[in-house]
Each structure stands twice: as C-alpha cells, then as structure tokens.
Amino acid sequence: MSLLPISIYPDPVLRQKAARIESIDASIERLIDDMIETMYEAPGIGLAANQVGRPVRLVVLDVERGEESSGLIVLINPEIVSATGKTKSEEGCLSIPGYFAGVTRCQEVVVQGLDRRGNPIEIAADGLLAIALQHEIDHLEGKLFIDRISAISRDIFKRRWKKKREERTESELCLD
C-alpha cells in the first residue's frame, strides 16, 4: 500500500464526473487499499477516488475513526436511492484544506452500491454517516461542498482561497 497525493481545489479532476467501475480487478483492489491508507493518514473520514486523481465511482469512509477500522466502508458505484429530511452541519474537505462551512443536506439517505468483492450492499444512514455519504457521492458527480453554500459565502471563499494561494506562491518564491 502507498499514500496517494490528494488533489487540491481547483484541480480539474475534482470537477470530473466519475466513470462506473465495470470490473473489480487488481488495479481497483490496489486503489481501494491505497485510498484507505491515504484517508486514515490525511486524516479524513471519507475519500472519493477523484480526490486522488482517479475519476472512477469509488469511495471509502470511516466516520468512527477509532483505533480499529471497524467502521470502514468501501463503496463501488454508489447511488443515493432515497433521501429525506434536512440537516445543516459544518463540513470540510481534504481537497479544500483549512476551509469549513455550514452545508444543508438530507438528514437520512439510503445508498446502494457494491462492496470491494462486488457484492451488492445497501446502507440506510442518518447523522454523520448520511452527511459523509452525500459529500463523497457529490465528489463522484464533480461537485464540492462549496457548491452547496450560498453565493455570497462562495464568493468570499473564492477570494480568500485565491489570496491564500497567492501568499503560498510568494513564500515559495522567497525560498529560491
């Protein structure tokens, strides 16, 4: 297993719609293992394949994040088949480090997909797991959580993000 580089906004791969996985071969198995290691190391509670430069329909999640990976979920070709209620919570993203915002999402979801062995699974979730599932599935559609905040908040984010990137570039130039 190896750590994968996480794509940072505005990397174009984050806006790509992910392709369905037609067969679970050795390369997908390796990608799953590498994504799990990368998610835990980051540390995050979820990671979509496009966040590591691979626009395929694969997510890994662990909202429990305990000593063991007892809460680990691997989902291939996940789809939300039902969603109810509304909830608002603070979200962040490994691809937009250091930025958090209140996002409104569905309170409960049912997601269907395949596990890492290709067996069909269905997850009925609420709370943090429901939010994480929606966040990661959004990634597979080329959407980021900043797309779900108000236009004013998004404009403020973009200005701050641009300034932050410019400051990083200036400090890198000073190191030369």
Residue 170 inside a domain? The answer is no
Q: Containing domain of residue 90, as a range?
A: 12-149
Residues annotated catalytic, as ranges: 136
Going by C-alpha positions, the residue among 134, 138, 44, 122 that lies closest to residue 86 is 134
Strands, DSSP E only, in the chain? Answer: 46-48, 58-61, 73-84, 87-93, 96-105, 108-114, 120-126
Residue 156 inside a domain? The answer is no
Q: What is the CATH number of the domain that holds 65?
A: 3.90.45.10
Residue 162 inside a domain? The answer is no
Predicted confidence (pLDDT) per residue in 120-146, tens digit: 999 999 999 999 999 999 999 999 999
Predicted confidence (pLDDT) per residue in 26-85, tens digit: 999 999 999 999 999 999 999 999 999 999 999 999 998 765 557 999 999 999 999 999
Domains of the chain: total: 1
As a whole number of angstroms, the distance between CA 125 and CA 111 comes to 8
